[in-house]
Amino acid sequence: MFREITPSEASDAIDLIGKDWMLIGTADKKHGNANAMTASWGALGFLWNRPVCICFIRPQRYTFGLAKENERLSFSFFGEEYRKALTFCGKESGRNGDKLEKAGLTYSMAYGVPVFDSARLTVIGRKLYSDEIKKANFIDMSMLKNYPAEDFHTFYICEIERCFIKNR
Ligand SMILES: Cc1cc2nc3c(=O)[nH]c(=O)nc-3n(C[C@H](O)[C@H](O)[C@H](O)COP(=O)(O)O)c2cc1C
């Protein structure tokens, strides 16, 4: 009667973010360019009658300050051939110079955020809501192992305004 499936089979979004990873892109107004960081935690869903993308940013990321300043964020998804570039953007900080140039990722600015030439899927999100993860709100306290330095994420719930896929 019922066949059990995995969470990944139930929703493509789980592996899209968790396994393929994404770049959270922001404008860097102070330097007149853009920055992006790799993220593998997040969600795509439906909230307040809108399609949404949710991302989680620790306070020590350079992206943390940029995300606060930006009205929109871009969420970019790439093919496996860009794994090295995404690994780089997940280690290097934009605080130390133009990381996207070093990663060899070209982009143009649209809607105030970077849209990468090589992304197979680009999502433009407008920030609707933000909050910090709070220690006191954990129901399963074992999740605190993700925060040995108590560097709790700030999360952004963004309305998905535009989506682009790359023409081949
Ligand atoms: C696979 C992978 C996933 C990551 N996911 C997240 C995440 O969801 N949230 C976060 O704050 N940092 C995450 N990071 C770490 C940031 O990408 C990393 O610290 C990056 O250098 C921050 O760049 P920035 O300082 O230019 O913002 C991840 C790193 C990797 C390699």
Domain ranges of the chain: 10-165
Give the number of the atom of ligand 1 that is nearest the alpha carbon of residue 94: 26
Q: Look at residue 73 in the predicted model and tell me its pLDDT.
A: 98
Listed in sequence order, the DSSP H helices in the chain are 7-10, 12-18, 62-69, 83-89, 99-103
Q: Look at residue 127 in the predicted model and tell me its pLDDT.
A: 98
Q: Look at residue 161 in the predicted model and tell me its pLDDT.
A: 98
Give the number of the atom of ligand 1 that is nearest the alpha carbon of residue 35: 26
Tell whether ligand 1 has an atom less than 6 A from the beta carbon of residue 94: yes
- Whether residue 168 is predicted with pLDDT greater than 80 in this model: the reply is no
How many of the other CB atoms lie within 10 Å of CB of 41?
15
Tell whether ligand 1 has an atom less than 6 A from the beta carbon of residue 35: yes
Each residue's pLDDT tens digit, 59-106: 999 999 999 999 999 999 999 999 999 999 999 999 999 999 999 999
Q: Look at residue 152 in the predicted model and tell me its pLDDT.
A: 98
79 Cα to the center of ligand 1, angstroms: 18
- Whether residue 10 is predicted with pLDDT greater than 80 in this model: the reply is yes
Does domain 10-165 sit in CATH 2.40.10.480? Answer: no
As a whole number, mean pLDDT of residues 111-132 equals: 98
Measured distance CA(56)–CA(64) in Å, rounded: 9
The full DSSP string for 4-50 is ---HHHH-HHHHHHHTT-EEEEEEEGGGTEEEEEEE--EEEEEETTE
Which residue in this structure is represented by tokens 């399609």?
A: 51
Tell whether ligand 1 has an atom less than 6 A from the beta carbon of residue 41: yes
Tell whether ligand 1 has an atom less than 6 A from the beta carbon of residue 62: yes
Measured distance CA(42)–CA(44) in Å, rounded: 7
Give the number of the atom of ligand 1 that is nearest the alpha carbon of residue 41: 8
Each residue's pLDDT tens digit, 130-146: 999 999 999 999 999 99
- Whether residue 167 is predicted with pLDDT greater than 90 in this model: the reply is no
Tell whether ligand 1 has an atom less than 6 A from the beta carbon of residue 38: yes
Tell whether ligand 1 has an atom less than 6 A from the beta carbon of residue 76: no
